[in-house]
Amino acid sequence: MQKKEPAKTILTSRGKSTHEGPYTVEPSEGELYKTLANNLQVGVYIVQNRKFQFVNHQIQEYTGYTEEEMLEMNPSALIHSVDRKTAVKNAANMLKGLRATPYRYRLMTKQGQTRWIMETVTPITFRAERAILGNCIDITEQKEAKKSLREMDALKASILDAIPQAVVGLQNRRINFANTAVEEVFGWHPEDLIGKSVTVFYRNEEEAEEIGSHFYSTLEHQRTFVSEFNCRRKDGRDILCRMRSSRIGQKLTKERRIVITYEDITEQRMAEEELANSREQLRNLSIYLQSVREKESTRIAREIHDELGQSLTAIQMDLAWLDAHLPPGDLSLSTKVQRMKGLVDTTVDSVHRISTELRPILLDDLGLTAAMEWQVQEFEGRTGVRCEARLDCKESSVEKDLATTLFRIFQETLTNVARHAGATLVKVRLTQKGNELRLDVSDNGKGITPEQAGDPKSFGIVGIRERVNLWGGSVSINGKPQKGTTIRVRIPLALPVGAT
């Protein structure tokens, strides 16, 4: 035998329950309706003579009151005071058949919260008397969702208007959206653009066609695309734009809905070009100044060497003659001549040193390694710091201007060692590795700091970097405290542009 299901307690109006135990007889039709009403996801109630006669579970949820409490209440007392009059009127109209659509009002819950309710009412007969059957749902969440959706839309619109780039939405190449920045970028009012072909932004039909096919074909297989194109403003002025486009949706649909942003980069591009130009000019000027300086030094060195050298040699010869023809026994004259001879000898040395420093004739006559070797000896002699130099490179592969550059760099590094390092030993290596010329100079002094090496006011070092840059090379300067400083210069041996 099949067991009977235990009965559900059927709540009745006015708080009485019909059955307390399991069903043994089939429920009446009225009880069935009540069961039905209590299982609905909408609020259902019956009002008669301004009193609830029935309230289902759902409406108790909405209001927060129990059935007992509600059955004692005046139904309109539940409605928010602001909405009460209208709600009652709407209900009356609906009962009279003057209104067909549901109406909304705010309900005050037992806990004092406000809930939005959407409701319909129908006149019925209940226990042989006229009554109202009410049907309502809580639409608070929907309302809030709608509100936040509206806020979201407003936010999106203000974001779009805050963007300095022009943003347009396209559908089959027609503009269906434009932000306010289109006015700034293109000189068009956003409203005037709606419905127009995006061609209005371009210089002519052909270019518009080309840009369009470029974008659409790329957006077939990727979501976004960035490119630069020439565009035209409403006033006819041409501008260069960086354009970013992205398709709307997972793939490009038949309507080809895309969004494009246009950023006017005309001025930016011009500034970049100007910067590049002035860099190039500076570089050329620097090359020019250095070559002028070297030429000038060479000329002065020659003149000092030749003119002064010749005169001094003549004086030396005259002094020798004078010495030989002095009347014998005149000690004071002889001493004077000896002193003059000594003076002229040191002057010859000075002239030689000055002219060599201005422009080592060795560099022109015998080449880089010979000039460096001479510089090493001169350095050791002058400073007392030992200098070990290993110089192997093919003279033929180092052209004259590069030899000058390397020699000047070498001079500056040695001067720095003498002035700043406090070293006792310097090691110099000049090597050629493939197509690269390498000059390494390291000392065992106190070590340069990174700040000193990177200081833009360290003009000696800046000068080294400048010279190396002109040849497309690189410099690294490293110091270890109390261990020393190493400077490495690398120069590619391919002919650099402009450095001739």
Q: Which residues of this protein are in contact with ligand ADP, per CB under 6 A?
A: 416-417, 419-421, 443, 445-448, 452, 458-461, 485
**Contact partner at residue 443 from ligand ADP, Mg ion, none, CB < 5 to 8 Å by partner kind:** ligand ADP
Q: Among residues 416, 442, 444, 485, which is the contact residue for Mg ion, using CB under 5 A? A: 416
Task: Give least dist CB 418 to ligand ADP, A.
Answer: 9
Q: Are 22 and 7 in contact (CB under 8 A)?
A: yes
119 binds, among ligand ADP, Mg ion, none (CB under 5 to 8 A by kind): none
Strands (E), 292-435: 386-392, 425-433
Closest of 184, 166, 197 to residue 261, by C-alpha:
166
Out of Mg ion, ligand ADP, none, which partner does residue 439 contact, by CB within 5 to 8 A per kind?
Answer: none
Evaluate whether 234 touches 267 at the Cβ level (below 8 Å). Answer: no
Partner interacting with residue 470 (select from ligand ADP, Mg ion, none; CB below 5-8 Å by kind): none
Neighbours of 393 (CB within 10 A): 20
Q: Is 497 exposed, middle or buried (0-12, 13-18, 19+ CB in 10 A)?
A: exposed
> C-beta of 430: minimal distance to ligand ADP in Å?
18
Taking the complex as a whole, the smallest distance from the CB of residue 303 to ligand ADP amounts, in Å, to 28
Least separation in angstroms between residue 457's CB and ligand ADP is 8
Minimum CB separation of residue 470 from Mg ion in Å reads 19
Minimum distance from CB of 369 to ligand ADP (Å)? 22
Q: Smaller CB distance to ligand ADP: residue 134 or 479?
A: 479
| CB burial readout 433-463, b (16+ within 10 A) else e | eeeebebbbbbbbbbbeeeebeeeebeebee
Among candidate residues 497, 469, 493, 500, the one with its CA nearest the CA of residue 401: 500
Kindly tell me which of 22 and 460 has the beta carbon lying closer to Mg ion: 460
How many residues in the chain?
Answer: 500
The site partner of 461 among Mg ion, ligand ADP, none (C-beta below 5 to 8 Å per kind) is: ligand ADP
Question: Interacting stretch for Mg ion, rule CB under 5 A, among 109-117, 321-329, 350-358, 455-463?
Answer: 455-463
> Residue 170, by phi and psi: left (phi above 0), alpha (psi -120 to 50) or beta?
beta
CB of 361 to ligand ADP, least distance (A): 26
Q: Is position 413 an interface residue for Mg ion (rule: CB under 5 A)?
A: no
Cβ 383 to Mg ion, closest distance in Å? 14
Residue 416 structure tokens: 């720095």
H-helix or E-strand containing 415?
A: helix 400-416
Contacts of 417 (CB under 8 A, 6+ apart): 385, 423, 426, 441, 443, 445, 485
Distance in angstroms (rounded) separating the CA atoms of residues 192 and 209: 22
Shortest reach from residue 415's CB to Mg ion, in Å = 6
Encoding tokens for residue 329?
Answer: 């026994």
Half-sphere exposure of 252 (CA within 13 A, CB side): 21
Nearest residue (CB) to ligand ADP, 269 versus 446: 446
For residue 435, the Cα-to-chain-centroid distance in whole angstroms is 37
The two beta strands, 484-492 and 436-443, are antiparallel
The entry of ligand ADP, Mg ion, none near residue 485 (CB within 5 to 8 angstroms by kind) is: ligand ADP
Of the candidate residues 123, 249, 454, 460, the single one contacting Mg ion (CB under 5 A): 460
CB-nearer residue toward ligand ADP: 47 or 461: 461
Of 298 and 444, nearer to ligand ADP (C-beta) is 444
Residue of closest CB approach to ligand ADP: 460
Residue closer to Mg ion, measured from CB, 138 or 412: 412
CA pair distance 373, 380, nearest whole angstrom: 11
Residues touching Mg ion: how many (CB under 5 A)?
2
Residues of this chain that interact with Mg ion (CB under 5 A) are 416, 460
